[in-house]
């Protein structure tokens, strides 16, 4: 074990090492690297669960040197998609940069650990999102959907893409945050809703109308805060499935696996079906008269309009005019 202590972040060295590593592995022309598969070439991979072991609740991953250039890498199985790939890359960086061989990592001060982790992050960023490939992939104007597309191409997290856009001076982080704020306001801070209006008929006459309203809230990781199937709200911090009914807690695209908003029947990024729609929890919206946004239902009552034969013509939000009670005394003539 070396006795040196890190004093500064060696950015150029980390970038050069990442490029050389990609070249050695024949990954120069590839986007979307499977960092887990590559990691297993240089270390023994062991998986742990932070949800089952409270001692590791804040750990994403760590590396142990076994000596003689051999390593064990431990990675948290409960990491969200994208973040897990980054973690595999980050721990690979510590090995390739020879941090355990060059420094006494078990006895470093906090700021010295930060230096090594910063070097590993610089390596990982160039390793998973090489500058030339990343610049070629970016399309303008930059939107949330475009950021999601980059996230899926390079198999990293939202934050990793945002940081890369910022550090390469392609698009500043402050403006990206503004994009998300605008989206949150438009969607009422990600409070997604589905509203189904069912019309029942008896002897040709509509006699009742039921409003089946389901509100689905998402957290900052786009995970449901309430299970859409059973209503459970008790989830462990890293849980991906409902412990009561087994439902997957993200409305992901079944094809590109992008996280979608809760009411999406089809992926906003590639157009394929989402998991909630595939599972039948979200119903088709083919008949506009039978589906009304929850936002409108919560703020207004619904009015039905029929023809003389009792056939349904329309379902619309109730207006102030519907509440007016005009008597003959109110008429101006």
Q: CATH no. for residue 50?
A: 1.10.10
Residues of the chain below pLDDT 70: 1-3, 183-216, 285-333
Dihedral of the alpha carbons of 147, 253, 262, 177, in degrees to the nearest 10: -10
Structure-token pair, residue 184: 């949150």
In the numeric block, the tokens 């309430």 are attached to 226
Indicate whether 122 and 136 sit together in one domain: no
113 burial level (CB within 10 Å; 0-12, 13-18, 19+): middle
Indicate whether 222 and 261 sit together in one domain: yes
In the numeric block, the tokens 């590993």 are attached to 120
Indicate whether 152 and 263 sit together in one domain: no
Q: Total structural domains in the chain? A: 4
pLDDT in tens, 244-302: 889 899 999 999 999 998 878 889 999 899 998 888 887 775 433 344 444 444 444 55
| Structural domain ending residue among the three candidates 170, 188, 207 | 207
Q: Are 263 and 216 in contact (CB under 8 A)?
A: yes
Q: Is 68 left (phi over 0), alpha (psi -120 to 50) or beta?
A: left
Task: Give me the domain span that covers residue 174.
Answer: 131-207
pLDDT of residue 320: 54
Indicate whether 272 and 220 sit together in one domain: yes
Assess if residue 324 is contained within a domain. Answer: no
- CA pair distance 51, 102, nearest whole angstrom: 33
Indicate whether 8 and 103 sit together in one domain: yes
pLDDT of residue 277: 86
Indicate whether 303 and 199 sit together in one domain: no
The DSSP secondary-structure symbol of 288 reads G
Assess if residue 2 is contained within a domain. Answer: yes
Indicate whether 139 and 92 sit together in one domain: no
pLDDT of residue 203: 33
pLDDT of residue 214: 44
Indicate whether 39 and 155 sit together in one domain: no
Indicate whether 17 and 119 sit together in one domain: yes
Indicate whether 22 and 76 sit together in one domain: yes
3-state DSSP percent of the chain in helix, strand and coil, to 5: 40, 20, 40
- CA pair distance 110, 114, nearest whole angstrom: 6
pLDDT in tens, 33-51: 999 999 999 999 999 998 7
pLDDT of residue 122: 97
Say whether pTM exceeds 0.75: no
Assess if residue 333 is contained within a domain. Answer: no
């Amino acid at each position: 074990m070396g006795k040196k202590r890190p004093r500064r972040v060696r950015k150029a060295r980390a970038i050069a090492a990442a490029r050389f590593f990609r070249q050695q592995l024949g990954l120069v022309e590839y986007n979307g690297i499977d960092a887990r598969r590559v990691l297993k070439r240089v270390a023994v991979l062991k998986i742990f669960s932070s949800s089952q072991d409270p001692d590791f609740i804040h750990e994403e991953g760590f590396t142990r040197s076994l000596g003689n250039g051999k390593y064990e890498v431990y990675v948290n199985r409960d990491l969200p998609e994208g973040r897990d790939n980054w973690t595999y890359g980050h721990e690979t960086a510590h090995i390739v940069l020879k941090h355990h061989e060059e420094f006494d990592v078990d006895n470093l001060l906090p700021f010295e650990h930060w230096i090594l982790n910063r070097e590993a992050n610089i390596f990982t960023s160039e390793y998973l999102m090489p500058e030339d490939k990343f610049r070629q992939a970016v399309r303008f104007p930059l939107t949330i959907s475009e950021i999601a597309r980059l996230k899926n191409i390079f198999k990293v997290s939202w934050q990793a893409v945002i940081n890369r856009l910022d550090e390469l001076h392609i698009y500043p982080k402050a403006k990206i945050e503004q994009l998300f704020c605008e989206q949150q306001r438009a969607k009422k801070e990600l409070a997604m809703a589905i509203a189904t209006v069912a019309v029942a008929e008896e002897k040709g006459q509509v006699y009742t109308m039921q409003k089946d309203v389901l509100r689905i809230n998402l957290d900052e990781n786009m995970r449901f805060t309430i299970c859409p199937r059973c209503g459970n709200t008790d989830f462990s911090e890293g849980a991906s499935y409902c412990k009561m009914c087994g439902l997957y807690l993200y409305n992901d695209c079944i094809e590109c696996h992008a996280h979608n908003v809760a009411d999406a029947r089809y992926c906003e990024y590639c157009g394929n079906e989402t998991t909630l729609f595939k599972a039948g929890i979200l119903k088709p919206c083919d008949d506009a008269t039978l589906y009304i946004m929850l936002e409108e239902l919560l703020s207004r009552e619904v009015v039905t309009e029929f023809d003389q034969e009792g056939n349904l013509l329309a379902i619309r939000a109730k207006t102030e005019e519907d509440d007016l009670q005009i008597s003959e005394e109110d008429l101006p003539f």
